[in-house]
Amino acid sequence: MTKDIFEKQKKELTPETGFNLVGIDYFTGEGSQLYLVEYFQMYQDALNAKKERENQDEYFVLYKGAGGEFFSR
């Protein structure tokens, strides 16, 4: 997956408020490899949901910062 396509998908899946747990599907076509797992109001809840996953490296949390910048953890 090219970095530009990956970054575009991350922005599309980032909520205006709250936190999205997002997964990576390596077997789908380029441009649709990221998918929404679940939305959370609290960061700690999203982080706990990620920690419960068997392969934590295949999931990350997306959110917007106070200045509107995009973050992922």
Mean pLDDT by 10 residues, the chain (73 residues): 79 96 89 93 97 94 93 90
Domain containing 33: what range?
3-72
**pLDDT of res. 45:** 98
**pLDDT of res. 34:** 94
**pLDDT of res. 19:** 98
Whether residue 62 contacts residue 10, with contact meaning beta carbons closer than 8 Å, is answered with: yes
**pLDDT of res. 29:** 80
* Tally of domains within the chain: 1
φ/ψ (deg, to 5) at 60: -155, 165
φ/ψ (deg, to 5) at 22: -120, 140
pTM: 0.89
**pLDDT of res. 26:** 86
